[in-house]
Amino acid sequence: MKKIVLIAMLIACTLSLVFASGSQEAAATTKTEKTVVEIWTNDRHDAEYMSKVVEDFNNSNDKIEIKLTTIVEDYPNMLVMSYTSGNAPDLFYMNARGTGFDLQTFVKSGMLEAYPESLLKDPEFEKVTDASKHIVEGINAIDGKPYGIYNVMRSGTRMIYNVDLLKKSGYTEFPKTLEELVDMTIQISKDGNGEYYGISTCASAQFERWLEGIINKSGIYHYDYKNGVFNFDGYKEAMLLAQRFFKEGAMFPGSNTQGVDAMRAQFANGTFATWGNASQEAGVFTDQFPIKDFEWAVTELPSLDGTTKGTVDSRPQKGLFMFSSSKNKDAAWEVVKYLNSESVVKGYVEKGYALPLSIYMQSVVDMSKIGRLADFAPVSYEGLYPSVPAVSVAGDSYAKAIWNCIVSGTDVDKCIADLNKRYNEALEKDIKLGKVKRVVIANYDPLNPNAGEISYLSK
């Protein structure tokens, strides 16, 4: 009997150990940690939507978890510091021509991982992003190798105008040339008699905000890609015409020193008739400063002769870049695929955060859901120019120098000669020091600036 009891006890102990072992294995399986892919972004406006996108992924994927962190202040430097300190995220978002972000420096320093061929050739990825059509040297690629791919865009500049004020002065159509725009805004200011004006600017990016787009659309650019030098000669006609905005009273007084939001509020109040900016204004004038008391419209930029001869800069956005230090590259590329999926991008656009970049996404997005953003729909001549040499110029930047000349009414020829001298001296000096290379595109086409073969010369 004692033997039977002993055997029974041994069996019970054995079974207990087996079940305990099984429970421990099950617990271990349950507690298996996901691979965490960390992403940094400097975008706040889309935080609500992106948080939901991340939450959906984390709830449905049992192997990978996304951690999204918003870094607003000093973003490019924070990225560098995170890498050098060994605390870099796996991925980070960067919009085209992001302020302070020098792709060449990041790549030369070995900080970035190039996109793998397997992802670039993935049919779904290509369909949503049109990746092969948006690889731009110096913007998201170095030596033709892409380090970031965008999936949406901000439009190039448009002219936004008060339809009622134009009609008061007898204008039923927006001008097609810069000279006509100048004449119209002068007339509107005269008719306004101090109550309202023809056009306005603000204290930031005055030249770049709309006038530079008009010049670029006219086939004029500040860098001569064929000869590999800076050349501002083509800017003369536009600068002379633009001086009339100030000389002849078209410009809303004092607007040149006011912040952008202050001027947006003034436009919404009907203080001036014409305002130039990109597609972010769709949300501004429907939510931030809603226009209710007059009809407003959006139209394409004029040009010098009324025709389109060059590319107007647009801004591809939501580009994901990978740090080379990532220890979770395979998982991170899976996250890149998810964040560039049709459903994620479609939802982003239909929330009104940006415009679709690829031809396919333009066809599947329900434009009725994006409100006034539809007025900024992409046009064929919008795109990106290859990056020009980032030279160390003494004195004011070309944009600031040109705008100061326009506002002050000073000698245009003198301003242009000074810019040509300063920029090309800096170019030659920096080439000799090995800081930059001369960018040359022998078969350069201003309407398709990225189509030509780019050469980088050390002389």
Q: Which of 71-80, 158-167, 323-332 has the lowest mean pLDDT?
A: 71-80
- pLDDT above 70 as % of the chain: 93
pLDDT digits (tens, 9 = 90+) for 4-28: 443 444 344 443 433 444 444 444 4
Model confidence at 100, pLDDT cuts 50, 70, 90, reads confident
Residue 368: predicted pLDDT: 87
Distance between CA 288 and CA 372 in Å, rounded? 13
Lowest mean pLDDT among 17-21, 396-400, 433-437: 17-21
Q: Report the chain's mean pLDDT, rounded to a whole number.
A: 91
- For 260-267, the CB contacts below 8 A with 24+ separation are 260/202, 260/203, 260/204, 261/288, 261/289, 262/202, 263/200, 263/201, 263/202, 264/288, 264/289, 265/289, 266/200, 267/160, 267/162, 267/200
Query: d(Cα 220, Cα 391) in Å, to the nearest integer?
Result: 20
**pLDDT-derived band of residue 31, with 50, 70 and 90 as boundaries?**
low
For position 451, what pLDDT does the model report? 87
Determine the topology of domain 35-155+314-378 in CATH. Answer: D-Maltodextrin-Binding Protein; domain 2 (3.40.190)
Architecture of domain 157-313+385-459: 3-Layer(aba) Sandwich (3.40)
Cβ atoms of 248 and 342 within 8 Å: the answer is: no
The more confidently predicted of residues 147 and 29 is 147
pLDDT tens, position by position, 370-384: 999 999 988 999 988
What six digits make up the tokens of 79?
């990225």
pLDDT number for residue 411: 98
Q: Supply the pLDDT for residue 143.
A: 87
Does the pLDDT of residue 235 top 50, yes or no?
A: yes
Tell me the per-residue pLDDT of 262-304, one tens digit each, with 9 for 90 and over. 999 999 999 999 999 999 999 899 989 999 999 999 999 999 9
Strands 454-457 and 438-441 come out as antiparallel
Show the beta-strand stretches assigned E in 278-415. 296-299, 312-313, 315-317, 319-323, 355-356, 382-383
Q: Please compute the mean of the pLDDT values over residues 411-415 and round it to a whole number.
A: 98
Element (H, E) at 245: helix 236-247
Tell me what percent of the chain is helix, strand and coil, each rounded to the nearest 5. Answer: 45, 15, 40
pLDDT, tens digit, for every residue of 339-355?
999 999 999 999 989 99
Q: What's the confidence (pLDDT) of residue 6? A: 38
Give the model confidence (pLDDT) of 113-145 as tens digits: 999 999 999 999 999 999 998 998 889 999 889
Q: Where are the domains of the chain?
A: 35-155+314-378, 157-313+385-459
Q: Which pLDDT score, from 0 to 100, does residue 435 have?
A: 87
